């Protein structure tokens, strides 16, 4: 199983984009910030950190103010006993942006961060200029079996053992051969996933991970869906980026979200798994940069927002009942 390709040039460019720290609500928040211009907020996924964006951050910062936080409970941010629901993460992002004097952003979210980005756009539409979802959670029930297992009661007892270096080495050697029989294939993302799970050796990180995971996943799969509110992206320029080889959250979720989000764009990276911004950073920058250049930032109008809320999904039902039926089926199957 191959590791995620690394770009030496990008790594060299990004050595200077180090972590900064601010205290918000008494908790230390770590983040990376670079550049100037219209603001772009990069939100990582579960058990990850802001370092996931390092292959694209410097290039993006040539034309934008780029903010990439470590979510609470992740990376170098504090890991308190706290609320790790998606809505709480969205509030935390709003407050960090307030501390940094940033009013409006193009929000880019990967995996869990995609669900957080969608929630941010839903809770704070006046702050969201554009929405970009990368291999995003929160569409359908399907998710990798390892995450379903980790959400089970008692999983915390096995995690220190599973996260240990010897076990990670064993998994890296054995899992590729067994993947087609076990359904545990990580595709091209195995090496990076194992690196991320190494952080779970820390008890506080492990607790934060489990609180976060169990807020969105149970043994049957994802329990949170954004499909019932996708119509609210009407008027917000929206881009979906997915890897065709994604084994964590299948590319079929991209197609369903694209159908449910009026006017959205979809870019599928044929050579990528769950981390297209890492495996194909140059193409990711081209797609994201083109999207930002070619779309005007959303302008929040509370009267329009209220009208969209009142109308609900009825306009989509009237114009495309097939799409409405697909969304309904996925929403019900996700437990909402």
Taking only the tens place, the pLDDT of each residue in 117-171 is 999 999 999 999 999 999 998 887 777 667 767 777 876 666 665 655 555 554 5
State the pairing for strand pair 39-43/65-69. parallel
CA nearest to 116, candidates 154, 151, 156, 83:
83
294 burial class (0-12, 13-18, 19+ CB within 10 angstroms)?
A: exposed
Please tell me whether residue 164 adopts helix, strand or coil conformation: coil
Active-site option among 253, 258, 274, 277: 274
Residues 187-231 have pLDDT tens digits of: 667 677 777 777 777 888 888 888 888 888 777 777 777 888 888
Q: Alpha-carbon distance 88 to 72, whole Å?
A: 10
Higher per-residue confidence, 180 vs 273: 273
> Domain extents for the chain?
8-141+224-333, 145-218
Annotated active-site residue 189? The verdict is no
User: CB of 257 within 8 A of CB of 264?
Assistant: yes
Active-site option among 47, 50, 77, 111: 111
Within 10 angstroms of residue 4's Cβ, the number of other Cβ atoms is 19
- Residue 179's pLDDT is 52
Best-predicted range by mean pLDDT (10-14, 29-33, 158-162):
29-33
Q: Alpha-carbon distance 238 to 88, whole Å?
A: 22
Active-site option among 58, 64, 246, 253: 246
User: Chain centroid to CA 197: how far?
Assistant: 17
Instruction: Say if domain 8-141+224-333 classifies as CATH 3.30.365.10.
Output: no
User: Chain centroid to CA 295: how far?
Assistant: 22
Annotated active-site residue 246? The verdict is yes
Q: Which residue has the tokens 């603001």?
A: 39
- Residue 15's pLDDT is 43
Residues 286-311 have pLDDT tens digits of: 999 999 999 999 999 999 988 888 88
- What token pair was written down for 336? 């909402």
Please tell me whether residue 27 adopts helix, strand or coil conformation: strand
Annotated active-site residue 44? The verdict is no
State the pairing for strand pair 105-110/65-69. unpaired
Phi, psi dihedrals of residue 223, rounded to the nearest 5°: -110, -5
């Amino acid at each position: 199983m191959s590791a995620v390709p690394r770009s030496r040039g990008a790594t060299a460019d990004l050595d200077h984009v180090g972590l900064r720290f601010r205290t918000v609500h008494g908790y230390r928040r770590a983040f990376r910030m670079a550049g100037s211009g219209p603001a772009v907020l990069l939100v990582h996924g579960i058990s990850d950190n802001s370092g996931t964006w390092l292959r694209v951050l410097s290039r993006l910062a040539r034309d934008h103010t780029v903010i990439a936080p470590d979510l609470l409970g992740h990376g170098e941010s504090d890991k308190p006993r706290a609320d790790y629901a998606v809505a709480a993460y969205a509030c935390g992002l709003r407050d960090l942006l307030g501390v940094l004097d940033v009013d409006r952003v193009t929000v880019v979210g990967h995996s869990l961060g995609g669900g957080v980005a969608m929630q941010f756009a839903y809770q704070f539409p006046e702050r969201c200029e554009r929405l970009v979802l990368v291999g995003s959670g929160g569409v359908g029930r399907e998710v990798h079996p390892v995450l379903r297992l980790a959400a089970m009661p008692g999983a915390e007892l096995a995690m220190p053992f599973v996260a240990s270096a010897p076990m990670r080495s064993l998994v890296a050697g054995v899992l590729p051969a067994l993947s087609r029989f076990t359904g545990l294939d990580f595709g091209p993302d195995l090496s990076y996933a194992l690196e991320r799970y190494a952080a779970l050796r820390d008890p506080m990180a492990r607790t934060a991970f489990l609180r976060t995971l169990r807020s969105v996943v149970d043994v049957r799969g994802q329990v949170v869906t954004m499909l019932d509110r996708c119509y609210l992206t009407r008027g917000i320029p929206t881009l979906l980026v997915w890897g065709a080889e994604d084994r964590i959250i299948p590319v079929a979720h991209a197609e369903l979200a694209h159908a449910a989000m009026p006017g959205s764009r979809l870019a599928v990276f044929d050579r990528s798994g769950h981390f297209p911004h890492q495996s194909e950073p140059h193409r990711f920058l081209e797609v994201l940069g083109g999207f930002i250049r070619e779309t005007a930032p959303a302008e929040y109008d509370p009267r329009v927002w209220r009208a969209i809320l009142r109308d609900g999904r009825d306009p989509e039902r009237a114009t495309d009942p097939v799409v409405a039926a697909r969304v309904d089926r996925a929403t019900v199957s996700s437990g909402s």
